[in-house]
Structure 1
């Protein structure tokens, strides 16, 4: 454990847990003997037995809400807005439209991309031919790595003697000149034990790339107390700055960012990692990368819109649609009209 200085730089009180938080500037020399990083777990039994009665599945949560009127939806053409002269400035309308929908388990984006279906491994191989793909993120990005090496028969994973859930990982298809790499992001993390020598911040990794490669990045999620929000936005700001530098020196680099997705919530998980908290962080990160020449895989909408139960690691059918979205960015089909 790194020893902090005697006086904290700042302090907060988490309004949700009531716990105090302190900001320290660590003494770098005190970390020389650090061997690994590990999560300590979560405090258990945070609610009383009476409070637990408010979190009963099928009783007062996860209860279907039946329609109070007709059980059908009529889709009408949009109304023409009537312009009214006014000296006041009109506020921007709140955008509530989803980014897409599913039709027969196939994701149909409403804008920004012509969706392709990569149902054959040969099509995926051809799309990734002569490319270097760098993946940075949490276990949901690692899930993409695992999906691709299973789907593409030519990708052979190198045994780097890395921890199964942490990495780093690397796979190569020498016949088609494909290099696929994955590395977990730096703190704050919720991984199991990670060697300190393998802890790399995404911003530093981006600064070490020459460019002209494809980057897939995702962020970690957790409860948004003031210090946690500060740490995540601070890290995302550094990633943004690194992306600006990368795109300046190598404008041909394709950068794809994955948003977070919903997960199954029980009474305990809801206390420290609810979807409401994750949604706030998702909005922060979307705003952080707004205006950059980066592409987005809207994992939040893709997991929200599907009929299968929410899962921290989405089922294969959703992962396939995410990969199809990625590959549609990398290898767009210019012969088809874009879905609108």
Structure 2
């Protein structure tokens, strides 16, 4: 009996010992599995209920901001805050909205006898009226001002000041002798801006995207975006932890998340009230010139003795440059050289690697160089013409030029998922150095989203730029700003000049003080006589390339 009891005791002890060991192993395996999920979650695609399409979920459900970034964001939002328009009547009527046909501008002083000289400032007073001919009492209209002389190929942007009472000032630097004509354009009445603000707040996902999922002969297509409307359908999470950017697609019904093969623009679905469409009428109240109450021209005399040179201010209170004889002249900073031959361009780029990252307005620069340099041969990477990535090499001169579109949101069609790269990741993968040029252009594809999304993308890119300059301070970084475009109703609801203006201000503020260079596409399009275009016409692109090359190969002694 004692022996049997002893055996039972031993068996019981052994069982309990093995149970403890198995429990320990189970816990260890669980912890190891959990650790790997957390460690490599940027490679793991998860599914979960869709977040609500609210700004807080859009911006905060992934990574919290640092106090420094949050403060900067608040200051930027304050700096671009737009004047509020009095409440619109419901239903909306055009009668009390801004009418360019009734509005006027006047060159000051109104009395005759004033003489203007090169180096002076010309001031214009603008007064807006509604369709009934009544003066407007509030501000917030979007106005552009330009001074030009077509015969001289001259033009400069004016700076517009809102007095918040229906009147505005435009100030111009007088930079050439001879005739100068004032041009004032109403882009949007203030009431239209109110509608654009509402669309962004209520329909931030009105531009949507698609992805194809494929496995063998099975294929499904689902909707994708920075965030998606809540449904019972689970999501595929393609968030990039290193870049700090989130992206989601609705999960296919039968296929797994890792079968996604491409990215495409899906379309635009803004919900606009029928009466609100009246605020976006070309030739009526959108991109329409305002007439002068008197003469729109002044005659500019030669510079007076002792008159100081006009230079661009460090803050955006003066023009960055102007056109004369159809060539862009910088005011301060790096003088703009003229690279008129292919040999001049290739000599400047000799031994250089030029990496271009951004949207189609940066792709234009790649295409320009590819066409201008006969010895620069583009490799056939079998990518779609509008999508890329692209690479061109001049073997004899050791020149390499590449283009890659920035990561989503990007309104390109049929981009393979393997070609979707965020600028942050690309910059962090570069060695950099004195022979490396980085060109960035990122603005247009963020226009329909809350400006906070754009601010945070730029904050992350700026940190990557700082890291690159820390390890390779001789790297040249050039950033292209936003520009004006032709507007229709559809274009205005997603890529209005007002949206672009807001992002242009944020971009300039974000990189101020860093060792980077700007190509002022906004003023280069505004000051030119050619029509506004999302993709500026060749004469403007040529001037932009001259600015870029002048940064790469500055004038000796300049």
TM-score (norm 1): 0.85
Residues 162, 23 of structure 1: CA spacing in aligned structure 2 closer, same or farther, 3 A cutoff? closer
Residues 156, 276 of structure 1: CA spacing in aligned structure 2 closer, same or farther, 3 A cutoff? same
* Structure 1 residue 238 displacement after superposition: 1.4
Aligned match of 1:332: 554
1:118 aligns to 2:339 (yes or no):
yes
* Structure 1 residue 169 displacement after superposition: 0.4
More contact order relative to length (CA 8 Å, sep ≥ 6)? 1
Question: Alignment partner for residue 69 of structure 1, among 294, 306, 330?
Answer: 294
Q: Name whichever of 323-332 and 21-30 sits farther off.
A: 21-30
Aligned match of 1:84: none
Aligned match of 2:443: 220
Contact 1:223 1:278 in 2 (8 A): no
Number of matched pairs:
322
Runs (5+) with no aligned partner, structure 1: 81-92
Supply the distance in 1 between the matched residues of 2:478 and 2:430 (Cα, whole angstroms): 15
Aligned match of 1:11: 54
* Structure 1 residue 8 displacement after superposition: 3.3
Aligned match of 2:269: 43
Q: Secondary structure at the match of 1:66?
A: strand
Contact 1:222 1:278 in 2 (8 A): no
1:196 aligns to 2:417 (yes or no):
yes
Contact 2:287 2:487 in 1 (8 A): no
Q: Secondary structure at the match of 1:333?
A: coil
Q: Secondary structure at the match of 2:268?
A: coil
Question: Alignment partner for residue 281 of structure 1, among 499, 503, 517?
Answer: 503
Q: Name whichever of 139-148 and 277-286 sits farther off.
A: 277-286
Q: Secondary structure at the match of 1:60?
A: coil
* Structure 1 residue 167 displacement after superposition: 0.4
* Structure 1 residue 256 displacement after superposition: 0.3
Which structure is larger by alpha-carbon Rg, 1 or 2?
2
Supply the distance in 2 between the matched residues of 1:210 and 1:10 (Cα, whole angstroms): 39
Aligned 1:139-288 pairs, distance under 5 A = 139-212=360-433, 213-222=436-445, 224=447, 228-288=450-510
Residues 94, 293 of structure 1: CA spacing in aligned structure 2 closer, same or farther, 3 A cutoff? closer
* Structure 1 residue 60 displacement after superposition: 3.5
Contact 2:389 2:403 in 1 (8 A): yes
* Structure 1 residue 110 displacement after superposition: 0.9
Supply the distance in 2 between the matched residues of 1:19 and 1:198 (Cα, whole angstroms): 28
Residue by residue, what CA displacement relative to the aligned partner does 1:291-331 show, whole Å, maximum 9, x if unpaired?
A: 21100001111011111100111000000000000001111
Supply the distance in 2 between the matched residues of 1:230 and 1:8 (Cα, whole angstroms): 18
Contact 1:223 1:272 in 2 (8 A): no
Q: Secondary structure at the match of 1:172?
A: strand
Supply the distance in 1 between the matched residues of 2:383 and 2:204 (Cα, whole angstroms): 36
Supply the distance in 2 between the matched residues of 1:26 and 1:287 (Cα, whole angstroms): 35
Residues 224, 218 of structure 1: CA spacing in aligned structure 2 closer, same or farther, 3 A cutoff? closer
Supply the distance in 1 between the matched residues of 2:553 and 2:329 (Cα, whole angstroms): 17
1:32 aligns to 2:258 (yes or no):
yes
* Structure 1 residue 275 displacement after superposition: 0.3
Supply the distance in 2 between the matched residues of 1:202 and 1:176 (Cα, whole angstroms): 27
Residue by residue, what CA displacement relative to the aligned partner does 1:172-205 show, whole Å, maximum 9, x if unpaired?
A: 0001110111111001111112111110000100
Contact 1:188 1:220 in 2 (8 A): no
TM-score (norm 2): 0.53
Supply the distance in 2 between the matched residues of 1:121 and 1:94 (Cα, whole angstroms): 35
